Amino acid sequence: MQRALLVAAFRKELDRRSGPAPSAPPAGDDERLAADLIAACGRGHASFPRLPLEDASFAAHLGRVVGLGASGPEPLEALAVEDLYLACACLAGLPGAAVTFEARHGTTIRGAIARIVAESDVDEAQQQLVQSLLVGSEASPAKIGTYAGKAPLERWVGVSAQRAALMWLREKRTEARARDAAANQAAASHDAHPEIAYIKERYRGEFEVALGEALERLPDRERVLLRLHLVNGVSVEKIGKMFSVSQPTVSRWLAAAREKLLDDIKRALGARLGTSSAELASLAGMVASRLDLSLSTLLKAR
């Protein structure tokens, strides 16, 4: 009974991923497949006795990752079974799985990141990477689900850490450029129009509150787009591929999201503050000039 359950779980996920394929184990080989799955589960239990992953769940995970191969399903004996067991336990959220993962691979992650980013940023960059690997977000599921066991998990994690560190650098540089531009603009504005600078400083807190409220009212998809672009540094081209649309479409979506936020903030500030038309005009300029930088900071904190 247990053998048939494992085979059924494996084949269901394999077919869902890759479709019935000639390279998949033929139905007549179910006895051998069952033996291979039982052996794989045994290896997983032996390596991680404190992670009681159900055999059927692991068999389904094996079917899923076997079907990820671009050139056809991989035979089970060619995969890093123990590493896949840990990856599956992390995806399942088993107690102790994340701790085990960090104990085994935390040094590799930290070493790869430390070679690329500043020492002061290593902890934050590592935490962000582990979050994306094991938990994910509303826009992107946990990345460890893409680990297919064709190479040791240690090597896969090292490559992921290098990519994350490079993305971190790109994000930091984008933020630094935005901060410098905002500072330069504020300085120039202060020199040329001290009364406008006073208005902007006076209502800075009101602006931050209005932005947070407007962001809460923004539809989920538009918040995801802004987070991907402003916080994670994902290009318009890559976002288009994620949503299966063209680059101009993504650009229009981002522009529309910004415009919706701007309109919402202006209405809120006008109603809340009851300022004069001249002050509102200055506030509108402040909103437009600070929007992306403030959004990046606010979205990162959520």
d(CA 73, CA 15): 10
**Do 63 and 12 touch, CB atoms closer than 8 A?**
yes
Mean pLDDT over 243-248 rounds to 81
Mean pLDDT over 154-177 rounds to 77
Domains of the chain, residue spans: 2-164, 193-300
Q: Provide the token pair at 13.
A: 């996920």
d(CA 52, CA 24): 28
Q: What is the pLDDT of residues 96-132, one digit of tens each?
A: 999 999 999 999 999 988 888 778 888 888 888 888 8
Look up the pTM and report it: 0.56
Q: What is the pLDDT, as a whole number, of residue 278?
A: 53
Would you call 141 helix, strand, or coil by DSSP?
strand
Mean of the per-residue pLDDT values for the chain?
Answer: 77
Q: Is the pLDDT of residue 191 over 70?
A: no
**Do 157 and 104 touch, CB atoms closer than 8 A?**
no
Confidence at 289, pLDDT banded by 50, 70, 90: low
d(CA 236, CA 219): 19
Q: What is the pLDDT, as a whole number, of residue 247?
A: 81
Strand-pair partners of 141: 136
Q: What is the pLDDT of residues 74-97, one digit of tens each?
A: 678 789 999 999 999 999 989 999
Q: What is the pLDDT, as a whole number, of residue 283?
A: 56
Q: What is the pLDDT, as a whole number, of residue 101?
A: 94
Confidence at 153, pLDDT banded by 50, 70, 90: very high
